[in-house]
Chains A and B, each alone.
With several copies, the nearest count.
Chain A
Amino acid sequence: MSTTTIRKLTMARAISEAIAQEMERDPRVLVWGEDVGAYGGIFGATQGLLPKFGEDRVIDTPISESAFIGAAIGASAEGLRPVVELMFVDFFGVAMDQIYNHLAKNHFMSGGSVRHPVVLMTAIGGGYNDAAQHSQSLYGLFAHVPGLKIVVPSNAYDAKGLMIRSIREDDPVMYFFHKGLLGLGWMPSDDWAEVDVPEEPYEIPLGQAHVAGDGKDAAVITIGAMVPKVMAARDRVAQEGISVEVVDLRTLVPLDRRAVVAAAQKTHRVLVVDEDYRSFGMTGEVAATLAEEALDYLEAPIRRLAVPDVPIPYSRVLENTVIPSVDAIADEIRALVK
């Protein structure tokens, strides 16, 4: 019988613990990116790694995202398993070619002979007034291009298991952590995400959605930082007698379409909630899946709630208008079951 130590961890701690455990297990695992060393990562995802593993394995880079993300391509082909941090997902545009034309496609273009076991982790999300170039989610855009696995944890338990699995994958994985879930003292953060986490390493397979809340009147399909907000809205409408199923997708690639369809089959009414832009993204893909595979089960039009195709504005009142709030989610649920 094995004993497992379980502690409450913030998501930031869960992520850095996962990386540390994989670095201990496998000398090929290294970390690099901007301010991942002495600073410990601007959002704490690499906290404690430098003292533990030294400058040979935890490496601060110049502000040269194309070069240091592209370096992960060559390094992984030659035996390393880098975990690379792109400080904010919003900066992807300076390095996208290395990401999507090479890291993502080389395995295919080589007929399977080249592998890039690389985790590209990055901070997403708004809610703290950092405006249009520091508050986006954007995972829908990466999910659109083939060759990248897309992981978006909603809590510390998932964050650890998904990170360990991501590092062990032989494919490039983009790992998106929402700043408002990390449990950073200085950032508004959802306590919901700080949960019990076993000390031992464990994996959560990619492509398996999680039913975060059981319900029968309606289903909300969502991901990342919207999960706790949807759960709060669920509590609120429960008092009005509305029972809501909540599906946390956890990964967009692979997408657990079966779970999406199952939720519709069960509740017949579906709302999709996302912090990414509304059009041509996650909410569209989920709704389309239902229109293809669950049409006969739908008793009401699909509803979508996401950032309404505007850049994230700076001012608090404006940002609060565009990022789905618990209120707005509850309203959508009410409209859905009406």
Chain B
Amino acid sequence: MSTDSMPSDELVSLYRTMCVIRTYEDRLAEIYTEGKTPLFSIAAGPVPGEMHLAAGQEPVAAGVIVHLRSDDVITAPHRPHHFAIAKGVDLKRMTAEIFGKKTGLSQGKGGHMHLFDPQTHFSCSGIVGAGFPPAVGAAFAFKRQGEDRVAVAFAGEGAANQGTFHESLNLAASWHVPVVFVIEDNHYAISVPKERSTAVAKNSDRASAYGIPGVYVSGNDVLAIAEAAEKAIARARQGHGPSLLEIETTRLYGHFQGDAEAYLAAGEKDEWRHLDPVPRFRDYLLHSGRMTPDKDQMLQAEARALVDEAIAFARESPDPDPADAFTDVFANA
């Protein structure tokens, strides 16, 4: 663990967020198989469609979003749950959405890749690289409206090769708007390793192409992430313009559930295990005396209860009405 100037309760709160995320993702991984075994079938069960889980990537969400307010904006990618949870999206309505239920954030119209929550100013998209421009636009609105709000665009390292990355960083820098671009480097874009798709080792080095700060945070270390993010977000909030963070992290499940990861070298994934941040951060907190084992047990129980409750809510919620398919194409009909 790197520096730890944070008070213990804040550290424990980071841990708590990570626990909720991990509990949630592990539980979804289980539920996702319901109705899909013995032969995996993507369309079957209570949670159909693609499912991109973020277990292993908790520190990015927790460490960055701890510095955000509820009125700050997040645009997230196809792998969105950890960000949504850290941002405080209502877990019940989010889960109901993932279950395709009427009580979901979008009444079942959006699904796991399309979580929208105007209350916490959260949105995501299934199109790689699509979240960069809207984040710039939101930041522009804040500047124009004289607000000290900030927008954060999260995306994977694969997304940094999309044209929108370049256009958005340039536009944000030209407009000098309060946005932070955060790249999650989990080493892979589906089956394609970063070093075979990206011409530089660190996307953060690309910040110089826009005259903005770029920082790489290695080790999937929530404290280092929180530290780097604090600076970038404060900078944006104080009107000093955009910056770029790239954060090393690790994808503990496959790209999506059902991915056999046959493209990985034998044992390759084991190497990533040392980056598994939840036990590492737990050990750190316990060993440094910042958290008692009891507190840990309690937090984990709380996380389970929260997730249980959300899932029960989702399961018990009614399906949408077939006629709902025809509404909400337009606001002014």
Contacts and interface: CB of A to CB of B under 8 A. Distances in A.
- Judge A-B direct contact (beta carbons within 8 Å): yes
Interface of A: 30, 34-35, 37-39, 42, 56, 60-64, 66-80, 82, 90-91, 93-94, 97-98, 101-102, 106-115, 127-134, 146-147, 149, 169-171, 185-188, 308-311, 313-322
Given A67-B132, A133-B113, A313-B109, A128 B197 contact: no
Contact of B326 (A37, A66, A308): A308
Given A67-B164, A171-B331, A131 B133 contact: no
B56 interface: no
B329 A74 contact: no
Given A147-B330, A170-B332, A188-B41, A314 B142 contact: no
B237 to A, nearest CB: 15
Contact of B161 (A35, A64, A78): A64
Given A64-B171, A314-B114, A111 B328 contact: yes
Interface stretch (B10-18, B42-50, B57-65, B238-246): B42-50
A60 B174 CA distance: 11
A110 B114 contact: yes
Interface stretch (B119-127, B216-224, B225-233, B292-300): B119-127
A315 B327 CA distance: 14
Nearest to B158: A63
Contact of B49 (A102, A129, A147, A171): A129
Given A38-B191, A318-B324, A109 B159 contact: no
B190 A111 contact: no
A318 B190 contact: no
Contacts of A310: 325-326, 329
Contact of B108 (A67, A128, A318): A318
A101 B42 contact: no
A72 B97 CA distance: 26
Contacts of A322: 325
A314 B109 contact: yes
Given A39-B263, A62-B170, A70 B134 contact: yes
Contacts of B332: 169-171
- Between A77, A109, A115, the greatest number of chain B beta carbons within 10 A of the residue's beta carbon is seen for A109
A315 B108 CA distance: 5
B187 to A, nearest CB: 14
- Between A63, A169, A313, A315, the greatest number of chain B beta carbons within 10 A of the residue's beta carbon is seen for A315
Contact of A67 (B75, B121, B168, B322): B168
Interface in B188-225: 189-192, 196-198
Q: Is the interface of A mostly helix, strand, loop or mixed?
A: loop
B322 to A, nearest CB: 4
Given A61-B171, A102-B130, A129-B49, A109 B106 contact: yes
Contact of A114 (B116, B140, B162, B321): B116
B40 A185 contact: yes
B49 A128 contact: yes
Contact of A106 (B123, B137, B324): B123
Contact of B190 (A39, A70, A188, A317): A39
A313 B108 contact: yes
Contacts of B319: 315-317
Contacts of A108: 109, 328-329
Given A70-B133, A133-B113, A314-B108, A187 B43 contact: yes
Q: Which 5 A-B pairs have the closest CB atoms?
A: A70-B133, A314-B111, A74-B137, A71-B137, A315-B108
Given A67-B133, A112-B331, A134-B126, A314 B171 contact: no
A149 B192 contact: no
- Between B106, B117, B121, B174, the greatest number of chain A beta carbons within 10 A of the residue's beta carbon is seen for B106
Nearest to B44: A188
Contacts of B108: 111, 313-315, 317-318
Contact of A321 (B128, B162, B325): B325
B167 A110 contact: no
A109 B262 contact: no
Contacts of A133: 113-114, 125-127
Contact of A127 (B43, B107, B125, B144): B43
Contact of B139 (A74, A115, A131): A74
Given A76-B137, A128-B49, 12 more contacts: A34-B189, A62-B167, A82-B137, A102-B127, A111-B116, A112-B327, A113-B118, A131-B109, A131-B110, A147-B330, A317-B100, A318-B108
A313 B170 CA distance: 34
Given A75-B137, A131-B110, A63 B325 contact: no
A83 to B, nearest CB: 14
B7 to A, nearest CB: 32
B151 interface: yes
Contact of B116 (A61, A113, A170): A113
B129 interface: yes
Contacts of A30: 144
B3 interface: no
Nearest to B191: A39
Contacts of B129: 63, 94
B190 A66 contact: no
Nearest to A93: B127
- Between B129, B262, B329, the greatest number of chain A beta carbons within 10 A of the residue's beta carbon is seen for B329
Given A62-B192, A131-B114, A316-B100, A74 B322 contact: no
A74 B134 contact: yes
Contact of A128 (B48, B73, B196): B48
A74 B161 contact: no
Contacts of A186: 39-42, 258
A101 B49 contact: no
Contacts of A115: 331
